[in-house]
Structures are given as C-alpha cells and as structure tokens.
Amino acid sequence: MKKIMIGAVAGLLLLAVPGAHAQGLGRAEKPEDVGLSAERLERISSRMRAGVEKGELPGAVVLIARHGHIAYLKAFGLRDPEAKAAMGTDAIFRIASMTKPITSLAIMLLAEEGRLSIADPAEKYLPEFKDLKVGTVAAGADGKPAVMLEPQRRPMTVQDLLRHTSGLTYGAAGANPLKQAYVDAKVGNRDDTNAELVTKLSKLALLFQPGTTWEYSVSTDVLGRIVEVVSGMPLDRFVEQRILKPLKMNDTGFSVPAEKAGRGARPHKEGPKNEMPAVPLVTAEARYKSGGGGMVSTAADYARFCQFWLNGGHLDGVRLVSRKTIELMSSDHLPPGTRMGPDMARFEALTPSREMGQGFGLGFAVRNEPGMSPLHGSPGDIYWGGAYGTYFWIDPAEGLFAILMMQSPRARLPYRYLMRELVYQAIVD
C-alpha cells in the first residue's frame, strides 16, 4: 500500500498534528489506499449530478472518510439557487438535528466531571418538571378527543432525555390535542430562552409514561437547558468553549458572522405547492439556542466530529471524553419492549425499532443487527440527520464515516438511502 499523505484538506482546517497521524484526519492520495474504489465512488458523483439536473435537490457536499483519511470530498449543484452561486466544499449548512449529538456530548462532558448523572431525575436540575402529568387521549362523551391526566409512574431521567423516552414530543397541528398544545404554546419560539422553553413544557402534559415509548421530541432541547443550569453558562458558549474550539470546528455554531454569509447554503422551491422551505440563514441569530436543532456547520467541521468519535473521544492530541463514554453513548439504550410512538413511522428505514434491527443511543440511532434494515450498514454503526437534509453515519466496523450536506427537506430520505447504498458499494477492501 502506498504511503498516505497527512495534512490539510483544501484549506478546510482538517489538520493533523505531527507525530499523531492515527489521531488526525488527513487526505488519502487515492481512494484505493483506504480500500475504496475510485471508479465506484464516481457512481456517487454521477447520481448527485443527475439529481441536481432533475431538480431533486439544489446542491450538496458529500464527504467520505475511512481509516482516518478523506477519500472523497465533492460539491455538486448550487449553493444558492436564487443567486445562481455554485456549491463549494466549504459551504455552511443548517444542520438541524445533527445538533443533537453535540448537545448530548455536552451532557456527557458534565457527567464525566461528576457534575450530573444521567441516571438522575430531570427534575433535580429542572424543578419545574417535578409534577408533570401524563396525558391519555380518548373519545369524550361528545365524540371529540379528550385528555385525561395521570401521574408519572416514575420521573423522567436525563437518560430518558438522551434517548427520547422522556414522554415529551414535538408539536404538531391536528387531531392529537397533546401535540396541538405544543403548537398553541409556541414551544420552540425563536424569541424564547431555553429557560422559557422549559417553563412552557412544565405546563403541558407528557405524551407517554417516561421510559415506555420512543417518541422523537424536544428532549435534546431540554438537555440544552440542563447544560446551562449545571455549567452556569449559556449553551452556545459552553458548546463553543468545551467542544467546538478544542476540536477546531471553526465554522460550526448556532450561527456564523456576516463575513461568512457568502458561504451559506440555501434551498430551492419544492413540495406540492412549490414553496421555499423555511430554512433560516446561517447568519440568522435567535434568542433560542436549540440544543436539538439550532446549529450550523460544514462537511469538513462535522468530519472532525466524526473522526473524534471513531478515535474513541480524542482528536489531534485533544481528549474530550473517555473511550468508555463513547462506548456508552454508542450503545442501544432502548429497553426491550419499548414501543414506537404511532407517528414515528415517518423515519421509514431509519426508524430505531426492533423490526429494523436498530435502536437509539445517547443522541443518535444505533444499528444492532445485520440485515433487517433494507439499508447497508454494520452492527454498531451510529447515525442521524437533520430536517433540512443533512445526514451522517459512523461505522466503526469499517473504520468509515460519511456525511451528506444539503438543504432540501423533501429529498432528505431518498438521498440518505442513496448514500448508504452508494458508499458501501464502493468498499473493495
């Protein structure tokens, strides 16, 4: 095998420390040096270009790394369709729920310092949650949905928040009055603080008994408030000082300054009504620092986060957490018998369910079994994505991670499936 060059990647701050090549993230001379086929990787390029030409997505950046080396990094289509600006590999994206692993890591940093335990009841840090009730929806005498309240059988824990078994939910207008209540209360309003978010939630009923049901939710946003309470720092400042700066994720945050506006990726019109998705500008600041979905990043920055994970909690000589913490977070935490919320089928082949051979760890989904899911992968791989179109997964068994960055809510599921199929078919060694 040829010697692999270690160093910067196109000025994207993917720097390896001399003498620490196994820890850093370099660039492979050619994909074959890390067991990938250049010819087969070109299938990704052809399919992405075709998708742009067909109008399936405005543009994208794809990054694939294996054994600590980037083997594929390409940009496609337009960064800003209205301005006709070409996509660059340094484009900055709203990553939505790819924020969740970062906030979850912040919780575990505090746990490693003995400042909290994930076995603790959430009410220990958020007294407003002490007397939360659980709502049950049934038909009333008039035939309309009615809510009956009952006490929690046990308090929700920090672990419940990390694995989305807290009983919290996301708001949705419609027939379920418990989810409608989130809409009516304007949960997640960009003008609220994290403290105000928790106050609003304390006045609403839980959708399920804690620990019984996986329901994707504002749980990670609540974790963001716990970070603030325990650390005494605003979430954005804690994340910047304790995670982003040490990992040199210099284009990642809850927004970027105006001078980086020219690198911000934008969506195109899509959907049945051909409308522009409501994707905030990467420079847009909000009072609400959403630990569940408020951050921006680049493919290069998120690659550093993924390599840090594959390394077992360290990168370029900087260790943030122990190998055992990475192992704990990457394990399936859903107990046997955990139900899926009835609306969770929207995740399709990515659903963390026993039927798909998948579960959920502390901040992302976890693959448990070979087969069962129709998508390629390995037992032990972890993954998640964002509502605006971004997606990542880390496969320790293959020493591999892949990142898809785009701003297309409508195309997100089909292209996540494509990424799995086209990346794994390129492995030849």
31, 71 in Cβ contact below 8 A? yes
pLDDT for 360: 98
Which amino acid is residue 113, in one-letter code?
E
CA–CA gap between residue 111 and residue 104 (Å, rounded): 11
pLDDT for 5: 32
Architecture of domain 26-107+233-424: 3-Layer(aba) Sandwich (3.40)
CA gyration radius for the chain? Answer: 21
Provide the residue-wise pLDDT of the chain in tens; the chain has 429 residues.
333 333 333 333 333 332 233 468 999 999 999 999 999 999 999 999 999 999 999 999 999 999 999 999 999 999 999 999 999 999 999 999 999 999 999 999 999 999 999 999 999 999 999 999 999 988 777 777 789 999 999 999 999 999 999 999 999 988 799 999 999 999 999 999 999 999 999 999 999 999 999 999 999 999 999 999 999 999 999 999 999 999 999 999 999 999 999 999 999 999 999 999 999 999 999 999 999 999 999 999 999 999 999 999 999 999 999 999 999 999 999 999 999 999 998 899 999 999 999 999 999 999 999 999 999 999 999 999 999 999 999 999 999 999 999 999 999 999 999 999 999 999 999
pLDDT for 24: 81
The CA-atom distances, in angstroms, between 427 and each of 40, 60, 400, 405, 421 are 8, 22, 10, 21, 11
Place of tokens 């060059």: 5
- Other Cβ atoms closer than 10 A to 79: 25
CA 244 to chain centre: 15
CATH number for region 116-231: 1.20.58
Domain map (residue ranges) of the chain: 26-107+233-424, 116-231
From 168, 134, 129, 138, select the one nearest 150 (Cα to Cα). Answer: 134
